[in-house]
Chains A and B, each alone.
Chain A
Amino acid sequence: MARAARTALLATIATLIAAWVLFPILLISLAAFSSRAQLYSWPRAIFPTPPTMDTILFFLRAQGVWQATLNSLIVALFTIALAVAIGAPAGYALSRFRFPGREGFRLGILATKMFPATVLAIPLAVAYIRWGLYDNLLGVAIVHTALALPFAVVITTSVFIGVPMELEEAAMTLGCTRLQAFLRVALPIALPGLAAAAIFTFVLSWNEVFAAAILTLHNRTLPALLINAVAFAGAPLDYRFAGGFFMIVPAMIIIFIIRRYLMTLWGVTIR
Chain B
Amino acid sequence: MATVLLDRVTKRFGRVRAVDGVTLEVRDGEFMVLLGPSGCGKTTALRCVAGLERMDAGRIVIGGEDVTDRQPGRRGIAMVFQSYAVFPHMTVRDNITFGLRIRKTPAEETRQRTLQAAELLQIGELLDRYPAQLSGGQRQRVAVARAIVMQPEVLLMDEPLSNLDALLRLQMRAELKRLHRETRATTVYVTHDQVEALSLGDRIAVMRSGAIVQCDTPSAIYNRPASTFVGGFIGSPPMNFFGGTVEEGGRSVRVAGTVLGLEERWAGAEGIRAGGEVLVGVRPEAFEVTTETRAGAFPAVVVVIEPLGGTTLLTVSVDGETAKVTVAPDTDHDPGQRVWLRPLPDRLRLMEPGSGRAVIPTQEGARR
| Chain B residues in 8 Å Cβ range of A188 | 89
| Chain B residues in 8 Å Cβ range of A172 | 51-52, 71-73
A177 within 8 A of B: yes
Binary contact track A163-176/B, C-beta < 8 Å → 1, others 0 = 01011011111111
- In the complex, are the beta carbons of B85 and A170 less than 8 A apart? yes
| Chain B residues in 8 Å Cβ range of A12 | none
Q: Smallest CB-CB separation from B73: which chain A residue? A: A175
Given A164, A169, A173, A189, which contacts B89 in the complex, CB threshold below 8 Å?
Answer: A189
A173-B50, A175-B102, A177-B71 known; A166-B83 Cβ under 8 A: yes
| Chain A residues in 8 Å Cβ range of B72 | 169, 172-173
- In the complex, are the beta carbons of A173 and B73 less than 8 A apart? yes
CA of A177 to CA of B52, assembled, Å: 12
- In the complex, are the beta carbons of B78 and A174 less than 8 A apart? yes
Chain B contact patch, size range: 20 to 34
Which residues of A in the span 31-88 have a Cβ within 8 Å of any Cβ on B? none
Q: Smallest CB-CB separation from B81: which chain A residue? A: A166
| Chain A residues in 8 Å Cβ range of B150 | 174-175
CA of A169 to CA of B103, assembled, Å: 16
A7 within 8 A of B: no
| Chain A residues in 8 Å Cβ range of B89 | 185, 188-189
A180 within 8 A of B: yes
| Chain B residues in 8 Å Cβ range of A173 | 50-52, 72-73, 77-79, 156
Q: Smallest CB-CB separation from B82: which chain A residue? A: A166
**Most chain A beta-carbon contacts within 10 A, residue among B74, B79, B146:** B79
B87 within 8 A of A: yes
Tell me how far the C-beta of B51 lies from the nearest C-beta in chain A, rounded to whole angstroms.
8
- In the complex, are the beta carbons of B99 and A169 less than 8 A apart? no
Given A164, A167, A176, which contacts B102 in the complex, CB threshold below 8 Å?
Answer: A176
- In the complex, are the beta carbons of B99 and A175 less than 8 A apart? yes
Q: Smallest CB-CB separation from A191: which chain B residue? A: B89
| Chain B residues in 8 Å Cβ range of A164 | 83, 85
CA of A166 to CA of B103, assembled, Å: 20
- In the complex, are the beta carbons of A185 and B87 less than 8 A apart? yes
Given A166, A171, A189, which contacts B98 in the complex, CB threshold below 8 Å?
Answer: A171
6 contacts between A and B (CB under 8 A): A174-B73, A174-B99, A175-B150, A185-B89, A189-B87, A189-B88
Instruction: Beyond A166-B85, A170-B81, A189-B88, list 4 extra A-B contacts (CB 8 Å).
Output: A172-B72, A173-B52, A173-B73, A174-B73
